[in-house]
């Protein structure tokens, strides 16, 4: 069975006469046509297919736009302004249904990533090169595809639970309407993919290939898969490996640098989604993140987060007041309250809140005071993280080239600390890891994590909240800790101008989207209460 991957419109036509036509003429193949069987027979073509699999990270629902909205809002790092309307406003209020647009986008893009990864693996395994360089390339491309397939299935298992499991390209053809696989089988497949990928991925890449999955990225993702399943000892082994040779990760001396347009060279990077600043309509469309990355958008790979979150631009979200208030807590040295220095790097606000109070420090016009509106009943705290208002007063469009942090070393250190605490060790080892992260920003060190696992986990949870605010981690943390309903409803009830308790028991999983139910009757018939 041949699959055409490129259609070519020929300017001429083929005229078949009613007489004298030989069957052999019908079997002739265009020398300029490509097929699934013949195209992927060299390193360049397989490399293109691998890069196309990474490209889905920028598709709708993922890192070019919707991903940060979805999980910053649902984890309540962010709350909507009156500017945010439509489907994303539903997400902010937890009042969405199975037809929610962005949830459908996430599902579709993750499965698109899986399909493309399966193509790479299938074609690479079918090619038998004799050149040693080609042989090494094949192993690497398969490993990268397995990393990306594991990334997709990790998120599917976590967000939806049971879901269709396509283990190969042929499995799509063999079963067009697969039943939902068990959560355990999806997690096992994630672990298998990553375990197989690790030895065939490089430790690092040259500048031209930054952003591709490294061996360390696969180790970190495997650790995360174990962590999400509560397999603490296995997760600890993976995370601990990243703290020593052959890995050379370290905390970036500058917290700000992690969310700047120069962050691709940070020693803290483990896996990023690469963006490039948009500058030219002749190269790509400034608004490609609204669905045109591979169609009308051209070669645009920028993010619109800065524009969407920026207080001098579209300003669709605030930092939630409860998130701001989390940065002030009892002083670790035991004397009064303490305002964490990461507040300054995270949001614009007031001096009392710890937020930054000026912007445009590098503008030719000079720095400008942030116009905090104390009378705003919603709280007037705006995002500084992932913004670049230090260099411009406004952006003029969605054109940010700041790379998205998927996994970074501070996250790994905190997850490693958690594995100790979850196994009953809340002493020197997790304490040192937490203080290592705090030391980077000059925060006061803890002398103890308390006398119980409960107190240690409370400190760890706050540390993850403050270090990773606006990095789409808190929603996943609250869900896996089993505290999402309690925490989010309490925060929403206390939030100025809110007072709701919107999180319901069903929200621990996403609804199976209509786009899947309408296509696959076996999935549609296997859904409880019209949700999941």
pLDDT single digits (tens) 184-242: 999 999 999 999 999 999 999 999 999 999 999 999 999 999 999 999 999 999 999 99
Do the beta carbons of residue 77 and residue 496 sit within 8 Å? Answer: no
Domain residue ranges of the chain, discontinuous segments joined by +: 43-314+400-524, 317-383
Q: pLDDT band at residue 31, thresholds of 50, 70 and 90?
A: low
State pLDDT tens for residues 254-282. 999 999 999 999 999 999 999 999 999 98
Interval 444-461 mean pLDDT? 97
Q: Helix, strand, coil: what percent of the chain each, to 5?
A: 45, 5, 50
Buried b (16+ CB within 10 A) or exposed e, 371-387: ebeeeeebbbbbbbbbb
Interval 511-520 mean pLDDT? 96
Q: pLDDT band at residue 377, thresholds of 50, 70 and 90?
A: confident
CATH code that applies to domain 43-314+400-524? 1.25.40.390
Q: pLDDT band at residue 358, thresholds of 50, 70 and 90?
A: very high
Interval 393-399 mean pLDDT? 94
State pLDDT tens for residues 56-110. 999 999 999 999 999 999 999 999 999 999 899 999 999 999 999 999 999 999 9
Least confident segment among 139-148, 167-176, 388-397, 431-440 = 167-176
Answer yes or no: is pLDDT of 22 > 80: no
Tell me the C-alpha distance between 444 and 378, whole Å.
30
What does the pLDDT read at residue 34? 78
Answer yes or no: is pLDDT of 437 > 90: yes
Tell me the C-alpha distance between 513 and 531, whole Å.
8
Beta strands in 38-102 (DSSP E): 78-80
Answer yes or no: is pLDDT of 21 > 80: no
Answer yes or no: is pLDDT of 16 > 50: no
Tell me the C-alpha distance between 274 and 55, whole Å.
10
Tell me the C-alpha distance between 381 and 364, whole Å.
25
What does the pLDDT read at residue 412? 98
Helix or strand (DSSP H, E) at 382: strand 382-383
The position carrying tokens 């079963």 is 175
Q: pLDDT band at residue 18, thresholds of 50, 70 and 90?
A: very low
Answer yes or no: is pLDDT of 300 > 90: no
What percentage of the chain reaches a pLDDT higher than 90?
87
Looking at per-residue confidence, does 200 or 24 come out higher?
A: 200
Residue 245 token pair: 């040779």
Interval 370-376 mean pLDDT? 93
Answer yes or no: is pLDDT of 17 > 60: no
What does the pLDDT read at residue 4? 26
């Amino acid at each position: 069975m041949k699959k055409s991957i490129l259609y070519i419109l020929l300017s001429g036509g083929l005229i078949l006469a009613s007489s004298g036509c030989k069957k052999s003429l019908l079997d002739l193949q265009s020398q300029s046509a490509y097929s699934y069987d013949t195209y992927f027979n060299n390193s360049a073509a397989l490399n293109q297919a691998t890069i196309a699999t990474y490209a889905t990270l920028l598709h709708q629902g993922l890192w070019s736009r919707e991903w940060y909205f979805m999980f910053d809002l649902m984890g309540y790092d962010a709350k909507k302004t009156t500017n945010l309307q439509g489907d994303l406003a539903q997400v902010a209020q937890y009042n969405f249904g199975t037809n929610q647009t962005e949830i459908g986008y996430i599902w579709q893009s993750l499965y698109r990533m899986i399909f493309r990864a399966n193509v790479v693996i299938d074609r690479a395994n079918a090619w038998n090169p004799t050149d040693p360089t080609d042989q090494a390339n094949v192993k690497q491309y398969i490993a990268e595809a397995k990393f990306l397939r594991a990334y997709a299935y990790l998120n599917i298992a976590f967000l939806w639970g049971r879901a269709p499991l396509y283990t190969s390209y042929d499995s799509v053809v063999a079963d067009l309407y697969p039943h939902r696989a068990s959560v355990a089988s999806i997690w096992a497949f994630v672990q298998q993919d990553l375990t197989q990928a690790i030895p065939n991925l490089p430790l690092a890449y040259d500048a031209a290939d930054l952003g591709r999955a490294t061996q360390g990225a696969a180790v970190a993702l495997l650790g995360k898969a174990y962590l999400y399943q509560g397999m603490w000892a296995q997760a600890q082994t993976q995370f601990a490996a990243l703290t020593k040779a052959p890995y050379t990760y370290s905390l970036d001396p500058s917290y700000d640098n992690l969310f700047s347009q120069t962050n691709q060279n940070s020693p803290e990077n483990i896996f990023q989604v690469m963006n490039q600043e948009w500058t030219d309509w002749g190269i790509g469309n400034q608004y490609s993140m609204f669905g045109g990355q591979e169609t009308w958008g051209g070669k645009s790979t920028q993010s619109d987060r800065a524009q969407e979150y920026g207080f001098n631009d579209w300003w669709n979200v605030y930092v939630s007041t409860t998130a701001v208030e989390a940065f002030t807590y009892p002083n670790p040295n035991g004397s009064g309250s303490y305002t964490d220095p990461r507040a300054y790097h995270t949001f614009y606000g007031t001096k009392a809140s710890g937020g930054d109070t000026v912007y445009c420090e590098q503008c030719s016009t000079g720095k400008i005071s942030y116009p905090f509106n104390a009378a705003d009943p919603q709280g007037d705290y705006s995002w500084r993280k992932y913004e670049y208002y230090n260099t411009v007063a406004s952006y003029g469009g969605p054109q940010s080239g700041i790379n998205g942090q998927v996994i970074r070393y501070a996250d790994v250190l905190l997850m490693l600390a958690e594995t100790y605490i979850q196994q009953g060790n809340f002493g020197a080892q997790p304490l040192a890891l937490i203080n290592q992260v705090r030391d980077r920003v000059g925060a006061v060190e803890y002398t103890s994590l308390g006398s119980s696992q409960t107190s240690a986990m409370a400190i760890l949870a706050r540390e993850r909240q403050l270090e990773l605010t606006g990095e789409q981690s808190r929603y996943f943390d609250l869900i896996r800790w089993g505290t999402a309903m309690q925490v989010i409803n309490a925060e929403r009830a206390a939030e100025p101008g809110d007072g709701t308790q919107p999180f319901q028991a069903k929200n621990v999983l996403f609804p199976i989207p209509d786009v899947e139910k309408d296509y696959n009757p076996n999935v549609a018939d296997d859904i409880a209460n019209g949700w999941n």
